[in-house]
Amino acid sequence: MYVLVMNTGSSSLKYQLLDSESLAIVDKGLCEKVGSPDSFYSHGLGDAARTDTLPLFDHLAAVRAVLENLLDPSSVALANLEEIIAVGHRVVHGGEAFVKSVVIDEDVIAKIKECVPLAPLHNPAALTGIEACQTLIPAALQVAVFDTAFHQTIPPRAFRYALPDTLYTQHRIRKYGFHGTSHRYVAARAAEILERPLEDLRIITCHLGNGCSLTAVDRGHSVDTSMGFTPLDGVVMGTRCGSIDPAIVVYLITELGMSAEEVDRLMNRESGLLGLTGISNDIRDVHTAVADSDERAELALEIYANAIRRYIGQYAFSMGGVDAIVMTAGVGENDSILRQMVLSGLEGFGIVLDERRNALRGADRVISTDDSSVTLLVIPTNEELLIAKDALALWAARG
């Protein structure tokens, strides 16, 4: 038996097929440029990986191509689609309606639709993926796993903005937070590695990829997170500016004559590491520029690291202390220089980075010294695994 994990974007579809017993990955793949004539489909593991160019007119066609590959005797060779017992769909926005993963029914679909204005690019894509799987794999249990759900435990003092009350009560403007599945996964892994109950720990999880967010996980519950009403807020990111004085938006419009769309593009696609360096959103390129003595690149790294330190300090204080800090995602897992910039010089707070351990590569690992009061960890995130586990748990609960 198998579980399928689906992550449907506006023009893409990413999936993993896992064995429902061992949770080993049996196949994975990515359909890109769905809806355009030059769409293609990459799939397979290791040496068997290959890319097929084929027309995928819509997400239904993409799901159909994936299922054909899963049934293909020369590929994954499932006996039939009934072997897939559950499908876990990543859904970006669940608003205030979902505090955990749920079995998809008509009511759930309606609530995901209600959240479309809050995630206009992402939720419609997830809905097309759900609809395609309902049509093509009707026997499988369809489960929705929300990026926002883990953050629904954030108290009002942290999720409300100091704006007129009606903007929250009538227009749903509040902090929602994102990357929830990743934060939940690495917090639980940290507790396992520390061999302590999650309920005893105050953890700060740092998801640092192209998008970045930090979360304060107090005894297993998210109590604050750096992304807000949208994934633009918080720390500096690859192309996003993170939090800035909101009056800058007004200034750009009134003084520089920019339109709302231009400001949106500026803040989401032309800012962050890319905007600061004028070189790249990829931190590896920024390091290369630093090695060539590019001063803008040096400053960009300092601004980026400083933004992350600020949130770590804020969350340690708001939780009344911190037991562990976890680094994850592309930058957090791989970039020892950035980790050092963020975590060094904090001995006065009982945070002692072990430079030798920090420089090592590998899977889950501790990078603090043995006498550091706060344990520092690097844990590769695995959102797909958690989505698969949630889907299987709901399948098992149904009997």
Could you tell me which residues are beta bridge partners of residue 42?
A: 30, 51
The smaller minimum CB distance to ligand AMP, of residues 210 and 268, is found at 210
Strand, helix or coil for residue 248: helix
Q: Of 209, 251, 253, which is closest to residue 231 (Cα–Cα)? A: 209
The smaller minimum CB distance to ligand AMP, of residues 174 and 179, is found at 179
Q: How far apart are the first and last CA of the chain?
A: 15
Binding site for ligand AMP (CB under 6 A): 209-210, 238, 282-284, 329-331, 334-335
For the chain, list the strands marked E by DSSP.
2-8, 13-19, 25-32, 40-43, 50-53, 84-91, 102-103, 141-146, 202-208, 212-218, 221-225, 324-328, 365-366, 375-378
CB of 361 to ligand AMP, least distance (A): 9
62 token code pair: 């993409």
CB of 209 to ligand AMP, least distance (A): 2
Q: Catalytic annotation on 335?
A: no
The Cβ of residue 282 has, within 10 Å, a number of other Cβ atoms equal to 15
Q: What share of the chain is helix, strand, coil (3-state, %, to 5)?
A: 45, 20, 35
The residue number with the shortest CB distance to ligand AMP is 330
Exposure b/e, 173-209, CB count within 10 A at least 16 = b: bbbbbbbbbbbbbbbbbbbebbeeebeebbbbbbbbb
The smaller minimum CB distance to ligand AMP, of residues 95 and 180, is found at 180
The smaller minimum CB distance to ligand AMP, of residues 219 and 284, is found at 284
CB of 341 to ligand AMP, least distance (A): 13
The smaller minimum CB distance to ligand AMP, of residues 208 and 216, is found at 208
CB of 331 to ligand AMP, least distance (A): 5
- Which is the catalytic residue, given 147, 218, 224, 390? 147
Cβ atoms of 387 and 185 closer than 8 Å: no
Tell whether the torsion through CA atoms of 111, 112, 113 and 117 is positive or negative. Answer: positive
CB of 7 to ligand AMP, least distance (A): 13
Cβ atoms of 391 and 101 closer than 8 Å: yes
CB of 36 to ligand AMP, least distance (A): 23
Which residue bears the tokens 């109590």? 223
Which strands make up the sheet holding 375-378, listed edge to edge? Answer: 221-225, 212-218, 202-208, 324-328, 375-378, 365-366
The residues carrying an active-site annotation are 147
